[in-house]
């Protein structure tokens, strides 16, 4: 009887505490000025909506607990949306500032073997941002986050139509791995429309496939994964050329024997 009396007395305060926590979180999330703050709120709201024992151990009513989990989960989703928009906008802006398009006259003589340095830098920045957002021990919603964020990044980056065809082909191969057929088809059409004179479509696609295979460990965060994922998920990268020893490339002089002796 004493326990029931204590529970009855304490429960309204526990319910009020849950409401206060939600109110403070939502207010803080609306006032956060940068992505670092959004990362923090994202982690807190994710923990409270899933694995945190806080709300289940303070003695609130079951209906209050359920509403608390639901509200913090919704807050987590809204924070992720803001983080995605802010992060992608910043990376795309920096990419366009750093981009140096190849002159049309030089396009025929230049034979790219993969994405441009600017695109590589932008994708690495995206990888770093996702790694900062998603803790190593929390992988339950990472795949959905990666697919959505990558798709948003590609859409924003290619919106002005000024991207190099090899960059577009690389992004098309990357998003195809996530099963986004609609975006993949749009990028495929973009590649066909901007195909350089004298360059075959199959050549561009093979170049993108080989480049993605070579950079798969670099962009591992952006690749789909499952419990059977290995280090080289896309297979062993192709060799870029035959190995030649330094001796074969540079013929030793007559004095070389005296040096090694």
Please list the pLDDT of the chain residue by residue as tens digits (261 residues).
Answer: 655 666 667 788 888 988 999 999 999 999 988 889 999 999 899 889 887 888 878 878 888 889 999 999 999 999 999 999 999 999 999 998 887 766 655 555 566 778 999 999 999 999 999 988 886 545 556 788 999 999 999 999 998 877 889 999 999 999 999 989 999 999 999 999 988 877 889 999 999 999 999 898 899 889 887 655 566 666 666 665 444 444 444 555 566 555 555
**pTM higher than the cut 0.85:** no
CA 16, CA 19: separation in Å to the nearest integer?
5
Give the pLDDT score at 175: 95
Per DSSP, the three-state class of 196 is: coil
For residue 72, count CB atoms less than 10 angstroms from its CB and return exposed for 0-12, middle for 13-18, buried for 19 or more. Answer: buried
The single-letter DSSP state of residue 220 is: G
Give the pLDDT score at 60: 82
Give the pLDDT score at 58: 82
Asked whether 92 and 156 are in contact (CB, 8 A), the reply is yes
For residue 192, count CB atoms less than 10 angstroms from its CB and return exposed for 0-12, middle for 13-18, buried for 19 or more. Answer: exposed
Give the pLDDT score at 33: 85
Give the pLDDT score at 249: 47
Give the pLDDT score at 106: 58
- What residues contact 134, with CB distance under 8 A and at least 6 apart? 141, 142, 145
Going from the C-alpha of 101 to that of each of 94, 120, 162, 207, the distances in angstroms are 15, 15, 8, 19
Give the pLDDT score at 244: 45
């Amino acid at each position: 009887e004493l326990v029931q009396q204590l529970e009855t007395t304490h429960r309204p305060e526990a319910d009020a505490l849950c409401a206060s926590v939600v109110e403070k979180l939502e207010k803080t999330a609306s006032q956060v000025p940068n992505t670092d703050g959004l990362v923090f709120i994202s982690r807190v709201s994710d923990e409270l909506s899933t694995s945190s024992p806080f709300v289940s151990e303070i003695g609130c009513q079951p209906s209050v607990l359920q509403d608390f989990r639901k509200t913090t989960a919704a807050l987590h989703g809204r924070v992720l949306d803001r983080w995605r928009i802010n992060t992608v906008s910043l990376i795309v802006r920096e990419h366009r500032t750093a981009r140096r398009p190849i002159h049309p006259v030089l396009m025929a003589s230049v034979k790219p073997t993969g994405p441009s340095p600017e695109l590589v830098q932008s994708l690495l920045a995206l990888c770093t941002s996702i790694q900062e957002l998603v803790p190593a021990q929390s992988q339950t919603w990472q795949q959905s986050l990666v697919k959505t964020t990558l798709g948003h990044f590609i859409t924003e980056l290619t919106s002005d139509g000024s991207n190099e065809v090899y960059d577009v082909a690389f992004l098309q191969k990357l998003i195809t791995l996530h099963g986004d057929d609609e975006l993949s088809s749009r990028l495929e059409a973009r590649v066909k429309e901007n195909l350089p004179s004298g360059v075959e479509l199959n050549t561009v696609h093979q170049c993108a496939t080989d480049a993605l295979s070579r950079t798969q460990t670099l962009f591992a965060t952006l690749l789909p994964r499952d419990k059977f994922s290995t280090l080289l998920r896309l297979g062993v990268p192709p060799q870029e050329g035959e190995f030649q020893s330094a001796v074969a490339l540079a013929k030793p002089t007559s004095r070389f024997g005296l040096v090694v002796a």
